[in-house]
Every structure is written in C-alpha cells, then in structure tokens.
C-alpha cells in the first residue's frame, strides 16, 4: 500500500512537471498566431509602433515624473501636478494635442524611473534626471536638451565651522540612494582623500529629517534642492551651503533609444521654449507676434515652413500651443523657481547665452 502510494505521488508530480513544461513551450508559438490570421495583409507585426502614434492613440502623454520634489514636481492643493519638470511634460502634451492637460504624470522613485521607461509604461522621463554617459549608453536612454543646469552641493551646520571638503574628514553625510549624487559623493571625497561615512536614504524627506535630527553632519544633493530645503529647516540661518560643487548635474528629459522621431519631438519642444524667450515671446504677448515679419519668429509660430510636421505633428502651430499653454523658458522658470516663489533661485547658468548663461537653442530653419 505504502509503496503504491509513493509511486502514485511521484507519477502525479512527474505528470504535472511535464504538463507545465509543455504548456510553457506551447504558449509563445500559440501567441502571435491569432494576430497574424486577423490581419494577414497588414505589415504592422514586423514594424514597431512609433511612440508618437502610441501616445496619439492613447490620447494622452504618460510622463514619468517626480511627485515629491518642491519646485520641480509635486501635487498642488487642487490635486494637479505642478512644478518645473511637470511644466515640460505639459509642454510636450500641448505640442502633440494642443492641450497641456492631455497628460498623465506617472510618479516614480529615482530607482524605478528607467525601468518604467524601458518597459513602455511611460513615454518620457522628466524627473530631475542627470544626463550621464552610462545612462545614455548602457541604460539605452536618449537625453534631450538640458532644461536645468544644477550642481551637487553640501549643506552643513554653521556651528561646525566646515568650509571646504577636507574639513569634513570623518563626517557622516546623508545621501539619497540610486542617484548620481551618491556616486559623486564617493568620487569627490575619494579624490580629495577625505574619509566619510555615507548614511543612505530612499528619499529627500528622510534624508533631510535625519540631517536636521543630527544623524549626519552634512547632507548632499543638487544645489537647487538644498536651497529649497534650507527654507524648510526649523532654523534656516543655522545652516550653510558650501561653496564647493561636487559635480555637474545637467537635468533634462530622457526617452528610450530607438525612436528618433520621438526624440526629435521632445528636443524641439524644449528648444521652442528657449527660442521663444530669446525672441521675447511669452504666453501673454504671443498673439501680437502673429503678424511678425521676422522669419525666425514666423518659423517658430508655424507661419512659414511647416516645421511641426518634421517631428510628426500635423498641427503647424504646435509651438504656439506650447507657448500659449505653458509659456517660454523664463515663464516656466519664474513660475516654479523664480523670485516670486519661496526658492528665489538666481538663474545663474540657466540664463540665456545672451545673458551670460548657457541656455542655447539651435535655430529653427
């Protein structure tokens, strides 16, 4: 009896495993067949659908963004996404649909953002993402024009008397994991021969709360974030942001490798906001430029040469929609980070090249 039962059981297991293997082998073959028989003439199965046509079919852009970075991406009290990065999502939506609200912001952590883009869950990352070589190559990203030039800084307590990096010998530094800041910190401290202890957190709030509670002697992240966060500390004047800049942090949009049309579209929407600032066109005065004789302005506004069609958009006034709905670069900057906000960040590097900055867009022609 006993042995019979044993054989029975083994047989069952065997049958199950074999069944599972067969099922696993069958399914990939069985999968595509109905698709082929459905549309035998269509060449579509061979061709990968373009991102733009996916977005247009869906009726909205899915933008991988941040929901927890003051000034760059957050929910306002009405439940709408708002911020500098979100405005660039809105600009792309406005260019494609003529409606900046044809947009779903997919909030993501620093870690998962690239996976989400690769898996096709989102169309573009605009989430204070630093353009680096390995992200550009290994991760298969294409980075668009930098919308915000940042640099990594360090904030310490004034009473510590720290002024330069070597002063931080043996200090503990709060840092956010999965970001370039974590790696820069290691590189710069190693280069300066300074020993330190990294205290790693998943997000800004934890990192800054830990710093304020005294769990670390310094906190590091992009300088723009340090400025915004300093205002939230209980005694902002007791803290100081060091002069030293640990890294270059060019922040901008990123798209997947392999869809050049989509990459061009994202690029030129961003450039259009910069060109508009150069030309002095903003959301308030754009209508007065509609009769302009300046060929550069006429090209931007779609009055001459159909430049929108070159990035796949049928509406020749796509950049007009961007400027009307979202504004030019200066408007986007000032609305989110400018003197009227709590941050009051000076434009610095982010001024137009004509004002001493490095914001420079190629011409539309």
Partner 1 sequence: MTTAAGTPSDRSVLPITERYPLVGWLRRNLFSDVFNSLLTLAALAFIIVIARIFLRWVFFTAEWGVIPANFNLLMRGQYPAAEAWRLWLVIYLLGAVVGICWKLIVGQFSGAARVLIAIPFVLMLIPFFSMGSRLNLLITAVASGAGFFIAGYLPIQRRGRAAAYFLIAYLVVMLVLLRGLPGEEGPMPPVQPILWGGLLLSLLLAFFGITLSFPLGVLLALGRQSKLPAVRIMSVIYIEFIRGVPLISLLFMGQVMLQLFLPDGFPLVDRVLRALVAITLFSAAYTAENVRGGLQSIPRGQYEAAQAVGLSAYQSTIHIIMPQALRAVIPVLVGQFISLFKDTTLVALVGIFDLLGIARTIISNPDWLGTQQEVFIVVAVLFWIFSYTMSYASRRLERRLGVGER
Q: Where does this chain bind partner 1 (CB under 8 A)? A: 8-9, 12-13, 16, 31-32, 35, 67-71, 73-80, 104, 106-109, 112, 115-116, 118-121, 203-205, 209, 228-229, 231-234, 341-343
Q: How far is the CB of 190 from partner 1 (least distance, A)?
A: 31
Sign of the CA dihedral with 64 first, then 66, 67, and 71 last: negative
- Cα 266 to Cα 55: distance, rounded to the nearest angstrom: 13
Q: How far is the CB of 74 from partner 1 (least distance, A)?
A: 4
Q: How far is the CB of 135 from partner 1 (least distance, A)?
A: 17
Q: How far is the CB of 102 from partner 1 (least distance, A)?
A: 13
Instruction: Compare residues 287 and 344 and give the one whose CB is closer to partner 1.
Output: 344
Helix H or strand E encompassing 96 = helix 84-97
Indicate the pairing of strand 124-125 with strand 61-65: parallel
Helix H or strand E encompassing 188 = helix 180-191
Instruction: Compare residues 85 and 278 and give the one whose CB is closer to partner 1.
Output: 85
- Environment class of 95 (CB within 10 Å of its CB; exposed 0-12, middle 13-18, buried 19+): buried
Instruction: Compare residues 76 and 238 and give the one whose CB is closer to partner 1.
Output: 76
Instruction: Compare residues 22 and 342 and give the one whose CB is closer to partner 1.
Output: 342
Instruction: Compare residues 31 and 43 and give the one whose CB is closer to partner 1.
Output: 31
- Cα 81 to Cα 150: distance, rounded to the nearest angstrom: 22
Find residue 196's DSSP bridge partners: 171
Q: How far is the CB of 241 from partner 1 (least distance, A)?
A: 16
Q: How far is the CB of 42 from partner 1 (least distance, A)?
A: 12
CB 327 within 8 A of CB 273: yes
Q: How far is the CB of 222 from partner 1 (least distance, A)?
A: 15
Residue reference for tokens 């150069």: 278
- Cα 265 to Cα 197: distance, rounded to the nearest angstrom: 43
Instruction: Compare residues 108 and 155 and give the one whose CB is closer to partner 1.
Output: 108
- Cα 16 to Cα 22: distance, rounded to the nearest angstrom: 10
DSSP for 242-283 reads -S---EEEEE--EEETT-HHHHHHHHHHHHHHHHHHHHT--T
**CB atoms closer than 10 angstroms to residue 316:** 16
Q: How far is the CB of 110 from partner 1 (least distance, A)?
A: 11
3-state class (DSSP) for residue 47: coil
Instruction: Compare residues 161 and 339 and give the one whose CB is closer to partner 1.
Output: 339
Phi, psi of 52 (to 5 degrees): -60, -45
Instruction: Compare residues 127 and 135 and give the one whose CB is closer to partner 1.
Output: 127
């Amino acid at each position: 009896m006993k042995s019979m039962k044993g054989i029975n059981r083994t047989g069952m297991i065997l049958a199950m495993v074999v069944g599972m293997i067969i099922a696993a082998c069958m399914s990939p073959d069985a999968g595509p067949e109905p698709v082929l028989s459905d549309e035998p003439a269509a060449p579509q199965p061979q061709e990968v659908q373009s991102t733009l046509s996916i977005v247009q079919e869906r009726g909205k852009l899915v933008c991988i963004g941040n929901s927890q970075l003051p000034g760059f991406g957050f929910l306002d009290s009405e439940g709408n996404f708002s911020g500098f990065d979100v405005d660039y999502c809105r600009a792309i939506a406005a260019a494609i649909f003529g409606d900046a609200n044809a947009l779903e912001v997919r909030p993501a952590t620093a870690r998962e953002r690239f996976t989400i883009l690769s898996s096709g869950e989102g169309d573009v990352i605009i989430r204070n993402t630093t353009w680096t070589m390995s992200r550009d190559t290994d991760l298969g990203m294409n980075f668009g024009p930098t919308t915000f030039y940042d640099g990594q800084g360090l904030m310490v307590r004034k009473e510590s008397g720290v002024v330069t990096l070597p002063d931080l010998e043996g200090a503990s530094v709060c840092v956010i994991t999965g970001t370039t800041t974590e790696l820069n910190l290691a590189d710069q401290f190693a280069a300066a021969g300074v020993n330190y202890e990294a205290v790693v957190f998943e997000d800004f709030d934890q990192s800054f709360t830990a710093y304020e509670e005294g769990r670390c002697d310094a906190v590091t992240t992009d300088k723009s974030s340090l400025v915004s966060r300093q205002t939230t500390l209980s005694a902002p004047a007791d803290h100081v942001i060091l002069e030293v800049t640990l890294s270059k942090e060019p922040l901008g949009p990123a798209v997947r490798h392999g869809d050049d049309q989509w990459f061009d579209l994202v690029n030129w929407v961003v450039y259009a906001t910069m060109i508009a600032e150069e030309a002095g066109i903003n959301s308030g005065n754009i209508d007065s430029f509609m009769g302009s004789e300046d060929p550069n302005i006429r090209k931007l506004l779609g009055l001459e040469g159909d430049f929108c069609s070159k990035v796949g958009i049928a509406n020749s006034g796509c950049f007009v929609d961007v400027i009307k709905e979202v504004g030019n670069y200066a408007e986007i900057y000032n609305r989110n980070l400018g003197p009227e906000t709590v941050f009051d960040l000076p434009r610095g590097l982010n001024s137009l090249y004509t004002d001493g900055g490095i914001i420079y867009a190629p011409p539309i022609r």
